[in-house]
Amino acid sequence: MALRPARCYRWDSPAYCRVARNPQDSFITGIPGIKITKFDMGNLTAEFDAEVSLIAENDMQIRHNALESARIAANKILQDKLGRNNYRLKIRVYPHHVMRENVMATGAGADRVQSGMRGAFGKPVGRAARIRKKQEIISVYVNDDKEAVETAKRALRVAMSKLPKSMKILIKA
């Protein structure tokens, strides 16, 4: 089944993220794993002069699969153009919030089986990062030459197309 639209997951409550080592202490069980495989890529030890960041213009929620898609797209451009040792890419947010879905039965006789919105706590379907306005989402660290900064901007523009809502690119030299 396709992903539900963002309007199904409003930001009208605190982040739902209570997960404990002891299963009885958790509010929810069976939480899907995070799809983001790495949060830091490139050369993690070198010092870089410039930082190019993706900044949120509004409050939003970003699913973990969208963050992973943006990471892969940006990393591919940076690795092809600059090489593995000439940049550092960092995902600055973590998907703590667990999204739930009240699955409704369909088909003949479903109305006899279903209880509607009574006890509609829902089953976990994924995770999302809750982003505040002006928060950094992804940062790329490069050397302060024009070509490297332009490549980082282009990589973040591609990553921006994978993420919801509007964002802007900020350069700190």
Q: pLDDT: is 64 or 109 the higher one? A: 64
Could you give the CA distance from residue 88 to residue 17 in angstroms, rounded to a whole number? 29
104-125: pLDDT as tens digits: 777 776 666 677 777 777 788 8
Q: Which of 104, 63, 87, 77 is nearest to 145 (CA)?
A: 87
Residue 116: is it exposed, middle or buried by C-beta count within 10 angstroms (0-12/13-18/19+)? exposed
Look up residue 146 and give its amino acid: K
Q: Are 93 and 62 in contact (CB under 8 A)?
A: yes
Q: Which residues does residue 169 pair with via DSSP β-bridges, in sequence order?
A: 54
pLDDT bucket at 98, cuts 50 / 70 / 90: confident
Residue 131: is it exposed, middle or buried by C-beta count within 10 angstroms (0-12/13-18/19+)? buried
Q: What is the CA radius of gyration of the chain?
A: 19
Could you give the CA distance from residue 109 to residue 23 in angstroms, rounded to a whole number? 35
Please tell me the predicted confidence (pLDDT) of residue 22. 75
Overall average pLDDT of the 52-68 stretch: 93
Q: Are 87 and 42 in contact (CB under 8 A)?
A: yes
pTM, two decimals, is 0.85
Q: Which of 16, 6, 166, 11 is nearest to 96 (CA)?
A: 16
pLDDT at 1 over 80: no
Structural domains of the chain in order of their starting residue, each with its CATH number: 31-98+122-172 (3.90.1170.10)
